Every structure is written in C-alpha cells, then in structure tokens.
Structure 1
Amino acid sequence: MNQTVDSGAASGIKPSVAEISRAVQESSAWVGLLKHEIGKNIIGQEKLIERLLIGLLTGGHILLEGLPGLAKTLAVKTLAAAVSTDFRRIQFTPDMLPADIIGTEIYNPRDSSFVVKQGPIFASLILADEINRAPSKVQSALLEAMQEKQVTIGESTFPLPELFLVLATQNPIEQEGTYPLPEAQVDRFMLKVQVGYPTREQERRILDLIEHTDAQAAMPPILAPEDILAARKVVDSIYVDDRIKDYIVDLVCATREPSGLNAGMREYIETGASPRATINLKAAARALAYLSGRGYVIPDDIKSCALDVLRHRIRISYEAEAEGISSEDIIRRLLETVPVP
C-alpha cells in the first residue's frame, strides 16, 4: 500500500502518465474496502464520504454544513475509526474559551513555574462539532493550527502531527444560537460541503438498518497514518495538463471579474475567490482522479469539486441577496460560461 511514483525519480526523469496511473491503481486498493465498510453504518451520502476522502488525501480541512441528524458527525467518526491514529472530538459550545481547544499554561507552586497543558487540538484527526455555536474568539483559536500546523501557548510553539486534519460540522447560520465563522477561517477550509436529506429509498434502507439501538457496526482499522502519507505522495504526482491549469485559473479569476465573460454576474459579486481557491481546486481535482483510479486530471474533476471549493470564498452583494441569488448560482453560471479545454 506504500506505493509511490519513484521509477524515474533517481534519474531525474518524470514518470509517464501510464506509470502514474499504475501507481494510483496500486496505491488506491484500499478505497473500495473503506467505502464498503463505511456503507455498513451510513446509507447514501456518497458525495459526503468522497469529500472526506479528498480531505484525507490532500490534508485539506473540510467544513460540513447541514441540518442536525444528517450523519455529518457519524461520517467523520466512522472515517476516523478506519484510520489507526489518534482522534479527538471537540464539541463547540457558547461558553467555550480558546484554552479549551489549544491548551494553556498552569502554574506549578512547587517550583514556582508554569507548565503547558496541551488541549485536544493535539491529535491527528479533529472533529470540530457544531463549530459555529462558539464565539468568534474560540473559532479563531483554530486559525494558526489549520494554516501553520502549529500551536502557540504562552511563549512556546508546538508542532502538530503530520497527518493533522480538521473535519468541522456546522448548522445553517439561520438557526438560533449560531455565530458566522470569521472569513479568514472559512477560507482555510479546502471544501465547504452542503449535506442534504437522503432520498426516499435511502431513508427506507436506514429504517431497515436501525433495527435496534446499538445497530452501528464496529469499524475495523483499514489504514495506518503512513499509508495515508504515502497516498498523498501519489496524489501529488498525478498529471495536470497546462490547459487544465489554465482552466482552473480562468474559473477563479472569473469570480473576480465575471463581466469579461458576459456572465451577467458582476453586480452580484462583492469579492471573488482567493488564491487558495486556485491551489485547492488543483489539489481536490487530483484527489478525485486518484479515487477514480486515474493518473491524470480531466475537466470533469474540476467541475465536480468547483462548488465545494468556491461556494464559501465568494461574497455575494446586496443585489444578489435581494434577488435570491446564491454563490452556488454564480458558480454554476461561471461553469457554463468559462470555456472548457
């Protein structure tokens, strides 16, 4: 499972697309087994599971938004159980303090000194549950950890695990008791995934699955941290053609200057996507190619993840709000307008 693309690395020759594809197929043998085991606990929500795997393969943090009871927390906990590493769930509440997440310094009266007590953020996989129920100062405590993979407590800075990944859930901001996430923090999430209701058929299967109160199946460990880190190296080697790169840049730039495409969206966009969107579109598309067993990215990979990468990075104007136009509507229009290679 620790297959990497290194056949030409020693000689300085880049591997061919065929070689990359073979490495992807060998490295991704665990994907089918993982999806099968997750399916024992979660009916439907295939897109949700796929997005969580993208985060795992790229190290990009994921924000899940949806009403309570849609298996957001269960999906993250099930995925964490499949990885043999440390996992922490942080339940965000209105009375939390930043020290409840990152830790604090505690005075030791024996030797008149302060010692650092690390908080739950010091784990490989973090479930930040209902992250928007805590005040902004608590949410902001995650900023340094998510971007720099380190935490500063007092005058000391501590590195976080190499596999560090934040999988956060939030309720729709219209619900009572929620606080909007700071824009600087929202931008640090690679994907914002909207979690919807299951279909009628899926709901019927859920009813059959839950025959008794302890119906949740035990999730066997499938992956070790080194397997994920090896998979990330393969993902990073997946071929992205220059025309695909130009397409990514065209899409992101169109969120800033849509008038050049005659998309009729200029008055609806307050600010466009940041350069993180460009980087994350490429990384997410590579992960999708990996999950599909391909060693190269195609335009459909970009289109598939564009909504989740861009929806939280576009600030809509008052005109858009007045006319009921969302950032998703704008992105769909741009996907129809920007020329596909």
Structure 2
Amino acid sequence: MSQPQPPTITPEYFATRFTEIADNIERVIRGKRDIIELALTCLLAEGHLLIEDVPGVGKTMLARSLAASIDGRLQRIQFTPDLLPSDVTGVSIYNPANGAFQFHPGPVFANILHGDEINRASPKTQSALLEVMEERRVTVDGRPQPVPRPFMVIATQNPIDMSGTYPLPEAQLDRFLMRLSVGYPDHASEVSVLMGTATGSGSLVEGLSAVSAAAEIGQLIAFASNIYVAPSLYDYIVELVAATRVAAGVRLGASPRASVALLRAARARAVADSRGYVTPADVKALAVPVLSHRIVLTPEAELRGRTAAEVVEETMAGVPVPQTATVARS
C-alpha cells in the first residue's frame, strides 16, 4: 500500500495552516489574536520569543498551547538563582558499565523550551542558552549535540518585580527575534475566560488537539525562508536598522542580526497572508517587536521617559518606503 504524499506547500496552504494553528491557540488564549499571530510568526521565522509582562496574563498558557497545537515536545525550566548551566543543557555522567562518559540531555532538547522568569537566573546560567539559541546545538565536553528542529525558546520575565533578578545582557536580548507584551484581556474576553475555566486553565490546554506536526512546521519554516524579497526591500531593511544606530537618545542601536531577524519575520508574515513576496507593510508591522528590545537608550533619554519603541516608530517615519509596485516579483 503506497504511503500518502505530503502536500505541496504553497502560500495559500501555508496561510491556511497558519490560521488553523492560530485558531486552535485562541481556544485557550482569548482576546489576544494579534499576540498569537506574532508568536506563531516568530516560530515560523525560526526565531525565539521573549514575553515581558505581569503575572497571570497567559504567558505560560501561550507556550503550552503553541506546543500542543504543533504536537511538539515542550520542556519548562523555572529559572532561579541557584540553577546551574548543566541543569539547562545536560551533563556527561561516567558509566562504570562501559567505562565511558554518557551524555544525559537537559530540558533544552525540546521543540518548545519555556524558560519561566529567565531574568532570575545568574548570568552564568543565562549564558548557557547563547549557543543553542544561535546555532541550535549544545557543546558538552567538546562535542556538539544538536537539538530537535523546530526549536524555539519562549522566555518570560516580570518587568515589575526587580528583587533578585539579573537583567538580560544585550548579547542575549539580541538572540530573541521578538519581544512581546501580552497585556490584560478586554472585558468580554476575561468574562469568557471565567466561563470556560471551571476546571482550571490547565485542562483547556490538555484538551487541545494538535492541528499540525513538528515535522510539518519544519517544512513551513523552510518554505517561508525562500519567499521572494525585492532588492529595494533589502535596502529598506538595512537603512531602517542602520537609522536606529544614529537616532537621538540611543546609546546602542540594532545590530546586523536585527536586520536578518526582521527579514525572516517579514517573510513569515507575508506568506501567512497568502503572498509569495514581502511588502513594506510586512516590515513596518514587525519593526517594533523585532527591533525595540535591541536598542539601548542613553540614561538622559530614559530619564525623559523616551522608549525604544518610540525610537523605532520615529525611525520608520524618517526612512523612505519603497514603492509597492516594485516589490512584487515581475
């Protein structure tokens, strides 16, 4: 009996699957469709997500719902000051039976790694994620150990409680493709949450059926990475990112890695909209969540209440936008 052939991926198929996964997650995360779509865009751009918000707004539920929807393996790490790097990556243990060291993988070997309160871990433990977030592998005792694909870190941190926390260094912030804030739900959505959680919110996630598979997500990621980008849009992205480096009140602007991240995210957003090409609207829609956390303001600008998001918005207003007619493949 012949095996069924995998479907041919087209922009229309990609957009359909994107909508189905987002609809599934929205069964748990009510009233936050824009956040769900941004998180899913981040996954399909093969990036990592930092969620900075107050407790109780659904950060953990978002990670669990996303993993359940793609039938991916989810691992959770509760970051604490006494957490060791080996608690994240794994450790080699001597096996007396064969006289050799055997690698025991840590929780980082997952499709979705949920790092809860990442800023509570020491800088040494935080740095254990640097290699795997960039290269999708962990080096232990000089041996590289690849993690599963797809692989995504969803890290959370509380912006209010600063006691016992270690701010994420710029090198680690730069490895997150997006930073999002979930925010409080509107009145109707919060009422809907109350009416639907008589048995607890965890049961809602456990009741989710997978609407995709991790292997298919890998195929969608590969497809999105080849979406057409006009030469004028490459210039636009580079000019936009470069403008953050010279903006008023900025001590450190976005890096070249930010240009790559913005390009990848724009491609995923374009194909999620059933298009086989990127437009300036894709870039502009993603500029704030992709760039703002990579910008370091001067102390004077912070005292004046200036934010990195405002810098990105002002930068976009000052960079000429390519003509729409020139960005589609002819």
Q: Normalized against structure 1, the TM-score is what?
A: 0.87
Q: Which residue of 1 aligns with 2:33?
A: 46
**TM superposition shift of 1:112:** 4.8
Q: Which residue of 2 aligns with 1:18?
A: none
Q: Does 1:143 align with 2:130?
A: yes
Is the Cα contact below 8 Å between 1:66 and 1:195 reproduced in 2? yes
Number of positions where the alignment pairs a residue of Structure 1 with one of Structure 2: 315
**C-alpha distance in 2 between matches for 1:195 and 1:175:** 19
Q: Does 1:179 align with 2:166?
A: yes
**C-alpha distance in 1 between matches for 2:313 and 2:131:** 32
Letter in 1 for 2:285: S
**C-alpha distance in 1 between matches for 2:269 and 2:229:** 12
Q: Which residue of 1 aligns with 2:230?
A: 241
Q: Which residue of 2 aligns with 1:103?
A: 90
Q: Which runs of 5+ in 2 are unaligned?
A: 1-5, 323-330
Q: Which residue of 2 aligns with 1:159?
A: 146
SS at match of 1:114: strand
**C-alpha distance in 2 between matches for 1:107 and 1:161:** 25
Is the Cα contact below 8 Å between 2:59 and 2:156 reproduced in 1? yes
**TM superposition shift of 1:173:** 6.1
Q: Does 1:303 align with 2:290?
A: no
Is the Cα contact below 8 Å between 2:262 and 2:287 reproduced in 1? yes
Is the Cα contact below 8 Å between 2:24 and 2:211 reproduced in 1? no
Q: Normalized against structure 2, the TM-score is what?
A: 0.90
Q: Which residue of 2 aligns with 1:80?
A: 67
**Per-residue Cα deviation, 1:292-336 (whole angstroms, up to 9, x for no partner):** 111121111111110111111111001101211111111111122
**Per-residue Cα deviation, 1:249-303 (whole angstroms, up to 9, x for no partner):** 1110101123xxxxxx2xx000111001111111111111122111121111111
Q: Does 1:224 align with 2:213?
A: yes
Give the RMSD, CA atoms, in angstroms.
Answer: 1.8
Equivalent of 2:175, from 188, 195, 217? 188
* CA distance 1:236–1:110, shift in 2 (3 Å): closer
**C-alpha distance in 1 between matches for 2:218 and 2:73:** 15
**Per-residue Cα deviation, 1:73-122 (whole angstroms, up to 9, x for no partner):** 10110110112232211111121011101111223345554322221111
Q: Which residue of 2 aligns with 1:28?
A: 15
**Per-residue Cα deviation, 1:165-198 (whole angstroms, up to 9, x for no partner):** 2111111165323211121111111111122111
Letter in 2 for 1:3: T
Is the Cα contact below 8 Å between 2:14 and 2:272 reproduced in 1? no
SS at match of 1:144: helix
Equivalent of 1:331, from 305, 312, 324? 312
Q: Does 1:200 align with 2:187?
A: yes
* CA distance 1:72–1:306, shift in 2 (3 Å): same
Q: Which residue of 2 aligns with 1:67?
A: 54
SS at match of 2:225: helix
Letter in 1 for 2:229: V
Letter in 2 for 1:159: P
Q: Does 1:253 align with 2:242?
A: yes
Equivalent of 2:200, from 213, 217, 222? 213
Equivalent of 1:124, from 111, 115, 118? 111
Is the Cα contact below 8 Å between 1:58 and 1:287 reproduced in 2? yes
Q: Which residue of 2 aligns with 1:3?
A: 8
**C-alpha distance in 2 between matches for 1:197 and 1:85:** 27
**C-alpha distance in 1 between matches for 2:237 and 2:161:** 32
**C-alpha distance in 2 between matches for 1:155 and 1:30:** 40
**TM superposition shift of 1:139:** 0.7
Q: Which runs of 5+ in 1 are unaligned?
A: 5-22, 259-264
SS at match of 1:216: helix
* CA distance 1:2–1:92, shift in 2 (3 Å): farther
SS at match of 1:329: helix
Is the Cα contact below 8 Å between 2:111 and 2:148 reproduced in 1? yes
**TM superposition shift of 1:33:** 2.0
Is the Cα contact below 8 Å between 2:120 and 2:165 reproduced in 1? yes
SS at match of 1:237: coil
* CA distance 1:74–1:183, shift in 2 (3 Å): same
% of aligned pairs identical?
42
Q: Which residue of 2 aligns with 1:10?
A: none
**C-alpha distance in 2 between matches for 1:135 and 1:43:** 34
* CA distance 1:43–1:70, shift in 2 (3 Å): same
**C-alpha distance in 2 between matches for 1:107 and 1:232:** 38
